[in-house]
Amino acid sequence: MRVEIKAGTAQGTAQAPPSKSDAHRALIAAALAEGKSIIRGIAPSEDILATLDCIRALGAKVEIAGNVATVTGGALEVQNVFPCRESGSTLRFLLPLALLRNTPCVFFGSQRLLERPMEIYESICCAQGINFTRQNGKIEVCGRLASGDYFLRGDLSSQFITGLLFALPLLQGESRLGVEPPFVSRPYVEMTLDTLEKFGIRIAQVDPLTFAIPGNQKYCPIDYSVEGDWSNAAFYEALHLLGGNVLITGLQPDSKQGDRVYRTLFPQIESGCPTIDIADCPDLAPILMAMGAAFHGIVLKNTARLKIKESDRGVAMAEELAKFGVACRVDGNSITVCGGELKKPRQPICGHNDHRIVMACATLLTRTGGAIEGAETVDKSNPTYFYDLQKLGIGVEIYGTVNR
């Protein structure tokens, strides 16, 4: 899909999309609860559709009416096929749950998803005698997860920690989960712990790096409302930073979402060339780079994990910012963006099959005008994004299809 954006100033009110991170966790917890849960505020993004498909494969019954999902769970009648599409959260959250029963399971996904690191789970399976095979565009597992002591790298992805925190309470026997520092993306684990507590699961944090997990617990069905998404809200609030007048609604100020930190970072970008550590908020990197390019520059630290996202995000953003006349330097674990005058790109922006690259660059195009190829990837997290821009008074022409 090609999108052409005219230079303009955004005006109006934007409702924050439902949090994809919150929705993943609530839907999975509901699938594990014995009984009927109501999950309100579901958006049909590609990643959430993947999780809905996979909790059905886990044995849950799901009915969708508008933005409300009714999930009847607890059966754990595991099927053998889990279609994860491009969702890393879906794959990493669900794989340990597939190991609660000694049933052969196959996880499918895009080529990029299956290229992303899974060594932590592979090592656990090897140590416990569980089959783990990764080849031909799929991951096959068969075996039963055991309770006990787990010690995970904390510098790769918090999603592995979350996956085990979902599964270990359902096993017989107590487990302990230790995290080897540095513990990156800790706020996402705090989100998980908050969701688990709401669904009746008890996990004790012995110290900042250790979790004690009693076994033989049961998830309780609840009525749950998904929060607004601070990650996606950053793209709308960036329009305000660029001189617009945009009010963002639907966000919880006391949210556990780590990306809420953008509200303290944007003023730093506006006033100078800050150095920002993104260890706990890597998903903000594209919009922070874009805003640095629009103002006085920016230096990002702890950026190595950007290589294993939907794209190599640091390199991808550097390539696209060059089209705006902005120079970037991408090093092993840092990125430097030079500020300066933005130029209208002579070539279309490439979406790199990455929703956050597309939205970050679209934000800059509201200042310069220009086109984006591969813009349909916004469906992954925010299908209404370009229509929201239109409602805010930005001229947007869409050639192709995108969900409303």
- Active site residues per annotation: 283
Instruction: Record the tokens describing residue 350, joined without a space.
Output: 């490439």
* Bond prior to 182 in cis (omega within 30° of 0): yes
| CA-to-CA separations, 34 to 39, 59, 100, 220, 221, in angstroms, rounded | 15, 11, 15, 6, 6
DSSP, res 141: E
Sign of CA dihedral 194, 196, 201, 205: negative
Edge-to-edge strand ranges of the sheet holding 138-142: 81-83, 105-108, 138-142, 131-135
3-class DSSP state of 310: coil
DSSP codes of every residue in 78-116: --SEEE-TT-HHHHHHHHHHHTTSS--EEEE--HHHHHS
SS3 content of the chain, % helix, strand, coil (to 5): 40, 25, 35
β-sheet bridge partners, residue 40:
68, 225
Instruction: Record the tokens describing residue 317, joined without a space.
Output: 């953003």
CA dihedral 391, 396, 397, 399 (to 10 degrees): -90
Judge contact between 37 and 71, C-beta under 8 A. Answer: yes
| CA-to-CA separations, 290 to 46, 131, 238, in angstroms, rounded | 24, 43, 9
